[in-house]
Amino acid sequence: MAPPEKGDILVIPVYSQSDEESLIDIKWQQSLRSKNAKFYQPRAKNQSKGDEDVLLYVQDSFYKDENSSNFVGKLPGAKKYGALQYGQKNAKGESRFLVLHNKDDKMYQHRFLVTTIQGTAAGWAKDIAGQFGAKEMANNVHSMGSGFVGDYLKNF
């Protein structure tokens, strides 16, 4: 699976009621405060890479709320990549996943994969996260102290 890159064309399905079944809650620490945000995992496709599945996390106000100025349907292509961040296994881009969210929120990359494996994520998303090594990551993060150790999401 080739990693998504800046400039790739992503096809993101519109929100449907069935997306509620795989809504996940990401929790993190920021400025000595506990924070959380809800994320959907629409089954996005990378049209630039032969319609490969993309592990994409979209904060609820970006996906469900059509009245929001951040709604994914209102963001032109260049702005989408401005709002997108990514996490990955290494500098080669292996196991890259994308996150569309409020970039004022500073979350560690592992939060997404670990929550996907341990939470109520869609089956296909759990499969991809499993291929990315999320189960091993969950075990390692738990032993290290997940609130204070990790790599932040990166900008394109």
9 assigned to some structural domain: no
Q: Give residue 80's pLDDT.
A: 52
103-116 tens-digit pLDDT: 899 988 888 877 77
108 assigned to some structural domain: yes
Who wins on pLDDT, 131 or 60? 60
5 assigned to some structural domain: no
**Other Cβ atoms within 10 Å of 50 Cβ, number:** 8
The total number of structural domains in the chain stands at 1
The structure tokens listed for 8 are 């790739």
Contact 55, 45 (CB under 8 A): no
Give kind and range of the element (H or E) at residue 139.
helix 134-144
State the chain's mean pLDDT as an integer. 80
Answer yes or no: is pLDDT of 99 > 90.
Answer: yes
Provide the domain limits for residue 62: 21-155
116 assigned to some structural domain: yes
57 assigned to some structural domain: yes
16 assigned to some structural domain: no
Answer yes or no: is pLDDT of 149 > 70.
Answer: no
Quick check: pTM over 0.85? no
Percent of the chain with pLDDT over 70: 78
95 assigned to some structural domain: yes
12 assigned to some structural domain: no
